[in-house]
Homo-oligomer: A and B are copies of this chain.
């Protein structure tokens, strides 16, 4: 019923009007004059109404005059879309939604994002932070394309690219009996007031697991946790990256026996492809952090 207008003939019409003739338009469009003539005639046939007067000169009919600005508008919108998509593909525009665990978000991401926006000034990044489960959930649901986190168990639909290893240690106040140790075994913690936190399950499956039973508190909020440590209420275990170095009175002593690490890496859906912008972010992160290794 309604004709399917192709963009190119509309362009021809504009060129004919702008250049003032079929020949001139053909020259500008790198086509021959008959190509222009026939395309226009086919367009007129589609519309059921001539666009140009018949008598020799390339003069618009009233209907043609009516059509001209509308053709121009449609072409403009087409070109805008085409340009926009090309920019997305060539990573000159776009948006990345990503997520990271708090330690990564606060310690790694500021520097990382600064460098990233330097290389890709036109790309915008949204960063959410949350615990490992939450990050995983965001990736699985598709709310974010990339996650920086540690993975508890590998799943087929998830792709995990390891980036760095993060050592777990004990955090205590500087006047604690363990504070001056260079390293510590799990037995040394027996009898201590141990505060559990979100990262404590890293000890699960290690010989240090019994420690989890003796913990008196379970504090997930980092601010509350450090406040209790500063108050000398007890000790906790944390990955080094999650240890807030800016608290002067707190000390981090690596756990030596067992040595416990978490592996931080890039999480994404294995089957789902990434947006061009996310591809840029993925390769940037891997390139930037691959050599870093252990923290």
Chain A residues within CB distance 8 Å of chain B:
2-8, 47-50, 53, 55, 59, 61-63, 66-67, 70, 73-74, 77-79, 81-86, 88-90, 145, 271-276, 278
Interface SS majority for chain A: helix
Whether the Cβ atoms of A78 and B5 lie closer than 8 Å is yes
Q: How far is the CB of A60 from chain B (nearest CB, A)?
A: 10
Q: How far is the CA of A83 from the CA of B4 in the complex (A)?
A: 10
Whether the Cβ atoms of B275 and A5 lie closer than 8 Å is no
The one of B5, B82, B90, B273 that contacts A61, using a Cβ cutoff of 8 Å: B273
Q: How far is the CB of A31 from chain B (nearest CB, A)?
A: 14
Whether the Cβ atoms of B275 and A63 lie closer than 8 Å is yes
Residues of B near A50 (CB, < 8 A) are: 273
Task: Give the residue name and chain of the B residue nearest to A84 (CB).
Answer: B70
Whether the Cβ atoms of A53 and B273 lie closer than 8 Å is yes
A271 and B55 in contact, given A62-B278, A63-B88 (Cβ under 8 angstroms):
yes
Whether the Cβ atoms of B62 and A88 lie closer than 8 Å is no
Q: How far is the CA of A273 from the CA of B60 in the complex (A)?
A: 9
Residues of B near A67 (CB, < 8 A) are: 85
Whether the Cβ atoms of B3 and A86 lie closer than 8 Å is yes
Highest count of chain B CB atoms <10 Å: which of A2, A3, A53, A83: A2
Residues of B near A3 (CB, < 8 A) are: 82, 86
State the number of copies, please: 2
Q: How far is the CA of A117 from the CA of B148 in the complex (A)?
A: 69
Q: What are 6 A-B pairs at a CB distance below 8 A?
A: A5-B7, A61-B275, A62-B272, A63-B275, A66-B88, A77-B77
Residues of B near A7 (CB, < 8 A) are: 4-7
Q: How far is the CA of A274 from the CA of B62 in the complex (A)?
A: 6
Residues of B near A90 (CB, < 8 A) are: 48
- Interface pairs A-B: 10 shortest CB-CB: A62-B275, A2-B82, A61-B273, A49-B89, A48-B89, A63-B275, A55-B271, A74-B81, A70-B81, A2-B86
A275 and B82 in contact, given A7-B6, A89-B49 (Cβ under 8 angstroms):
no
Q: How far is the CA of A178 from the CA of B209 in the complex (A)?
A: 129
